Structure 1
Amino acid sequence: MLHVNARGMKCPWPALRAARAMREADAILIEADDPIAPSELEALAQQQGWDFAALDACRFSLRRAA
C-alpha cells in the first residue's frame, strides 16, 4: 500500500494527490487534515469505483474494488 502525506494541504489537493497516486497503485493510505478531505476523498472513490474507508479523523484508505 502506497502512503500519501497530504497534511497541511487544502482541498482539492488531497483528492488530486490521491488520484495521481492511484494511477500507479491498487491501494493507498492517505493522511489529510483538511476538514473537507473525507467527503472529497469519498466522492473521488465513488466516482472511480474504488473502495473508501476512514481509518481515523486524518487517515483514509482508497483501494481498487476487487
Structure 2
Amino acid sequence: MAAADPVVVNARGMKCPWPALRAARAMREADAIEIEADDPIAGRELEALAVQHGWQFIVIAPHRFALIHKG
C-alpha cells in the first residue's frame, strides 16, 4: 500500500496498550498508518512503537497520529 493511501485505525475510547496493538497489527500490511487515539498516553506509546520498528512518527492533530515506514 502506498504512503499516499494510509490505513486508518480508529482506536478512540480504547485504553493503552490497545491503540499501539492495533497500530502494530496494521503495520504488518501497510507502509503508512493514520491512527485516532484519545488515551492520554497513546501518543507516547505509538511513538515508541514507531521508533522500535524504524518507522517515522508524526503528530497530525490532537489524538491523530501517523506512522510511516521509512524503507
Please classify the TM superposition score into its range, dividing by the shorter chain length.
Answer: over 0.9
Structure 2 Cα separation of the partners of residues 47 and 11 of structure 1: 17
Instruction: Indicate the RMSD between aligned Cα atoms, in angstroms.
Output: 0.6
Query: Once superposed, which parts of structure 1, at least 4 consecutive aligned residues long, lie more than 2 Å away?
Result: none
1:15 counterpart = 2:20: yes
Total equivalences in the alignment: 66
Gaps in structure 1 of 5+ consecutive residues: none
Quote the offset at 1:51 in angstroms: 0.3
Gaps in structure 2 of 5+ consecutive residues: 1-5
Structure 2 Cα separation of the partners of residues 29 and 21 of structure 1: 10
Partner of 2:3: none
Quote the offset at 1:7 in angstroms: 0.2
Identity across matched positions, percent: 70
Structure 2 Cα separation of the partners of residues 14 and 27 of structure 1: 15
1:36 counterpart = 2:41: yes
TM-score normalised according to structure 2 size: 0.91
Quote the offset at 1:4 in angstroms: 0.3
